[in-house]
Amino acid sequence: MPQVSESTTVSVFGAKPARSGAANPRALPGAVRPESRTHTVHAALAPPLLARFAWWRFLLGLIVIAVWVASAVQSTAASITLAVSTRALSNDRADLLVNYSALDVGNAKLWLTVNGKRAAALAGSTGQYVIANAGPAEYALFATAESSANAIYVKSNVVRVTVGTVVVPIQINEKTRDAARLLMQGSFGPRSMDDIRTAETKGASAWIDEQIQKPWSSHKLYLDRIKAGGEEEKEEHVYESYWQQLIWGEARLRARVALALSEIMVISNIAPDQKNAAMISWMDLLYRNAFGNYRTLLQEVTLHPAMGYYLNMLGNDKEDAATGRMPNENYAREVLQLFSIGLNELNADGSMRKDAAGRALASYDQSIVQGFAAAFTGWNFSGNDTTKASSFDHPTENWTDYMRAWPTRHSVGAKKLLSNTAIPAGQTPEKDLADALDNIASHPNVAPFMSKRLIQFLVTSNPSPAYVARISAVWNNNGRGQRGDLAAVVKAILLDTEARTYSANSTSAGKVREPMVKFIHFINSMQGQSKNGRNSIWWLDSPDDYLGQSPLLAPSVFNFFSPSFTRAGPIAQAGLVVPEMQLVTDTQIVGSANFFTRMINDHGVGFNSDYAVSFATDQWESLADDPNRFLEQLNWVWFAGAMSAETRDIIFRAMNKLRATEKHERMEIAFKLAVIAPEFSVQR
């Protein structure tokens, strides 16, 4: 006990005081209030006190001092001690055994908090609480004592416990993400981590330049090799060639652009009634012109017999007053509406021009359609005698060479065209055609119309007006005074700030991926191997059990989906479009998911087992014993760094329900969940 001197100050504390700056804790019932109490005794004044007061008053004062001093020496602070141990279960799960001991907390209620959330009330001041079957995660646990007013009186130590292999947030490198996103936009997605690193090392501009120069393989030569091997040419071989180039070709940007062009300037074999040679030659046309000049592309599209057959320019005859026959308007109408300028006049940024009353201005009227229809008369298969009328009516078919003109079957009158221009009477079919196509290609709508369509196929469904305007400027002048340079346009689209900027929280950036684009990416990521350079992937357009989409099998000239399609609800209310979602039906969702699941179960794909494509997933399987490493690679190769925490957690937990030794099964369940994840269907 402290000695009492002439001036001794004794401070008595019932409990540990609050930290500096914090409010004092509320005292519990029956406990000494946690506030400083001070009493001072002056020994030199004792005799006057004895003389002035009764002896019992002096004795009472000494007793009070003794109590205060004893309290200061003997009282202890309230406290809670927490200790946690684990009892291992299977599949990376465990019971958490929480042992607790509380001292001097009076009648306070004890609570256990786990990962920031109140988990349970603890019974008694000492005991054990069991958290049963805790899954793989990091846990932070502590206990608190609270008064009847729910104010925290004292808090225990914090104990951190790790159960199993916990999901680790993936560290995002912006350069790596940009490279992976470039491969999503400029090809069909990353094939591997090495693919991403190569693009990252090169940089976007150099990667694009290299891709533009990459050699490509002719579909016709592919078909010729099959026939040279003694096989009879079949329609299946046409689709085999398409998929061969799309999946394994090294000219990946060219393939992506050619596929986009096939959905803008549409021919289809949906009937089916296109000739094999015509379809093969048509796809070669698109590959050849993917980085060429739009005016050249437009002419080759116009004169190709596959397009001539599909939209009735093949054998399109001049007017005949005696029979009332008029030139067929089918191609004239679609080349204007779908392949070049669209229905309404546009500003350079893609917005519609309007009159003083706020009404959209039409790009053309019926008289202009009739003018172009007349300009496109007199063309039929190449290789026939164009001086004989009989050869026009009953030509020898030639499905690979461009159509030729019969002057006697061509309309020779004047033709009204766009921009208040006209073709004079008496010109040759070749001159009329050239003038008509020049008139289209020079129209101011072409740049914003075609630029926006290509942006939508490659980068985002809802480009800003400024983005469209920037690409339109490149379309009109590639920097060397050339108009319609597709290589310059594609490069500008991919290098634009809206393409290269990642925005995870944007509600308008990015696009829904087409089913066949996802399919190509999937095969590449699974390291699909073609047997002897062949495959048996043919028609995948059934929504019941395949993709609901396949090259050159659109249901009409309007493609598989409209560029202006929107989905009722928040998307439409925001003024946004989601073209590819026109394909998304209940049937397609289930059919496509089942198709991907079958491929994962079968470790390959193909209609003919002799040429089935097999998957080489050893590298993926080798990572499956460590879900974090597996998910990191999955995030980059499948999702271009856009995997959400929710998706990561779902796949992680599914993998951890299996033993670490069940690597193949872990890999398969991860793939099955990944193919239906939003991040695999949406390109950011």
Q: CA–CA separation, 672 vs 651, rounded Å?
A: 9
Distance, C-alpha 653 to centroid of its chain: 22
What pLDDT score was predicted for residue 172? Answer: 80
Those residues whose C-beta lies under 8 Å from the C-beta of residue 11, and which sit 6 or more positions away, are 36, 37, 38, 72
Position 71: which residue type?
Answer: S
How is residue 43 annotated by DSSP?
G
Assign residue 285 a region (left: φ > 0; alpha: ψ between -120 and 50; beta: otherwise).
alpha
Which structure tokens are listed for 480? 């060397």
Strand, coil or helix: what is 655? helix
How would you class 52 by CB atoms within 10 Å of its CB: exposed for 0-12, middle for 13-18, buried for 19 or more?
exposed
Q: Are strands 604-605 and 511-512 parallel, antiparallel or unpaired?
A: unpaired
**Residue pair 402/281 in contact by the 8 Å Cβ criterion:** no
What pLDDT score was predicted for residue 148? Answer: 67
Q: CA–CA separation, 281 vs 315, rounded Å?
A: 19
Residue in 384, 430, 402, 331 with CA at minimum distance from that of residue 393: 384
Residue 219, H or E segment: helix 219-228
How would you class 569 by CB atoms within 10 Å of its CB: exposed for 0-12, middle for 13-18, buried for 19 or more?
exposed
Question: Could you tell me where the DSSP H helices lie in 526-662?
Answer: 570-573, 586-602, 618-623, 627-639, 645-656
How is residue 576 annotated by DSSP?
-
Domains parsed from the chain with CATH numbers: 8-74 (no CATH), 79-163 (2.60.40.10), 293-444 (no CATH), 508-683 (no CATH)
Residue in 250, 240, 247 with CA at minimum distance from that of residue 215: 250
* Residue 339, number of CB atoms within 10 A of its CB: 26
Tell me the mean pLDDT per 10 residues along the chain, length 684. Answer: 32 32 33 32 38 46 46 62 91 90 89 93 94 88 83 87 79 93 98 97 98 97 95 96 97 98 98 95 98 98 98 98 97 98 98 97 98 98 95 97 98 97 98 98 98 98 98 98 98 98 90 98 96 92 97 98 97 97 97 98 95 96 96 97 94 94 97 98 96
Q: Which residues in 50-175 belong to E strands, given as ranges?
A: 79-88, 94-103, 109-114, 117-122, 126-134, 137-146, 152-155, 159-163
Please state, in angstroms and as integers, the Cα–Cα distance from residue 460 to each residue in 208, 327, 578, following that order: 18, 39, 9
Residue in the block written with tokens 């490149």: 474
Instruction: Return the bridge partners of 196, or none.
Output: none
Those residues whose C-beta lies under 8 Å from the C-beta of residue 206, and which sit 6 or more positions away, are none
Q: CA–CA separation, 370 vs 376, rounded Å?
A: 10
Which structure tokens are listed for 197? 């690193």
Sheet harboring 79-88: ordered strands across?
Answer: 79-88, 94-103, 126-134
Reply yes or no: is the peptide bond before residue 272 cis, omega within 30 of 0: yes
Q: CA–CA separation, 409 vs 325, rounded Å?
A: 12
